[in-house]
Amino acid sequence: MFTGHFAVGLAAKKLSPRTSLPVLIVAAMLLDLIYLPLVLLGIEHMAIEPGITAVTPLNFFYYPFSHSLLAVLFWAGGFGFAHYFFNRHRTGALVVGLLVASHWLLDLVSHRPDLPLVPGVEYFVGLGLWNSVAMTAVVELGLFLWAVRLYGNYTRRDSLAGRVSFWSFFVVLLIMQLMAYQGKPPPSVEVVAWSGIGSWLFILWALWIEKTRRVPGMRPRL
């Protein structure tokens, strides 16, 4: 999933309004933010195999350190604990930990059975929503549109910048998602990994949103 993970990060603002949006988005995307550098380092792997699912031509055949259930529990606990350590904010820590875990649950729904439970054990899970582009679009875009509406209604803009930051974020992500549904195979795994690392741009974008829109009556903190 792509916009599905952003959706969960946006919606979590309502659960922990004091936590800044870039932190919520990083938590929701964390497993992929770990996975793609590991691919470039040759520690985890993916391959391009057109037709392996209807939605994505990527075969995620080795990612035990970023995407096994056991690793995810570690990352979720670690991220939640680190957040608590630096902010002393219990709700925020709980929410970011759950966001890290939510990534795996969304992947569980969408991936073919390629998600390991424990590194080194040849047993994989995945419910295969990606076998249907139409069903994926309904679920993922439904989630994304719901979350954008929720965030837009929950936060207030102080200036025009607050409108531009948020709606441009929405439109760019939506266009990228619709292009991804075309299922065009990328030229190489390196291109996939580097463009994934480019998703840090959206985290900076989320910081811009955080600075230009606020939850009424709340002072944001990281």
Binding site for Zn ion (CB under 5 A): 31-32, 107
Cβ–Cβ < 8 Å for 79, 100: yes
Between the alpha carbon of residue 220 and those of residues 13, 29, 133, 192, the distances in Å are: 11, 21, 38, 34
Task: Give 106 or 208: the residue with its C-beta nearer to Zn ion.
Answer: 106
Q: Look up residue 153 and give its DSSP letter.
A: H
| CA–centroid distance for 33 within its chain | 9
Task: Give 32 or 140: the residue with its C-beta nearer to Zn ion.
Answer: 32
Q: How far is the CB of 115 from Zn ion (least distance, A)?
A: 9
Q: How far is the CB of 5 from Zn ion (least distance, A)?
A: 8
Task: Give 11 or 31: the residue with its C-beta nearer to Zn ion.
Answer: 31
Residue type, 52: I
Q: How far is the CB of 83 from Zn ion (least distance, A)?
A: 20
Task: Give 41 or 160: the residue with its C-beta nearer to Zn ion.
Answer: 41
What region, left, alpha or beta, does residue 42 occupy, with left being phi > 0 and alpha being psi -120 to 50 degrees? left
Q: How far is the CB of 159 from Zn ion (least distance, A)?
A: 35
